[in-house]
Amino acid sequence: MAVAKQFLKSKPVAKVTFELSAEAVNGAKTVAVAGEFNNWDASAQALKKQKDGSYKTTVELPVGGEYQYRYILDGTKWENDWAADKYVASGVSGDENSVVVL
């Protein structure tokens, strides 16, 4: 798993690439990322399967903020990003959310 950040010089946004390894996906057929940037909508940001079995997608986010997110496997299983910048309590359950800091 990894979160890659590309900061744009032309505007105050970063292209954030969310990637989940084939090992982390563990045979799931669909993978999505839900977070504060898409109102935690599990269907808003699907990741595309890569040739190596990993999944990835890129989202533009405003610079200067912190955004909580989690991955959803097969529409039911919520997973954190092993390589997140940090983790915070979700406030919904005993789980934590991954955080990307821009």
pTM over 0.85: yes
Q: What is the pLDDT of residue 1?
A: 57
CB hemisphere CA count around 10 (13 angstroms): 2
Q: What is the pLDDT of residue 81?
A: 93
Question: What distance separates the 2 farthest-apart alpha carbons in the chain?
Answer: 40
Q: Residue 58's pLDDT is what? A: 96
pLDDT of res. 4? 93
In tens digits, what is the pLDDT along the chain, a chain of 102 residues? 578 999 999 999 999 999 999 999 999 999 999 999 999 998 999 999 999 999 999 999 999 999 999 999 999 999 999 889 999 998 887 889 999 999
Strands (E), the chain: 2-7, 13-20, 31-35, 48-49, 55-62, 66-73, 77-79, 86-89, 96-101
Task: Provide the pLDDT for residue 93.
Answer: 78
Taken in order of first residue, the domains within the chain and their CATH numbers are 2-101 (2.60.40.10)
CB neighbours of 3 closer than 8 A, spacing ≥ 6? Answer: 16, 17, 18, 19, 81, 83, 84, 85, 100
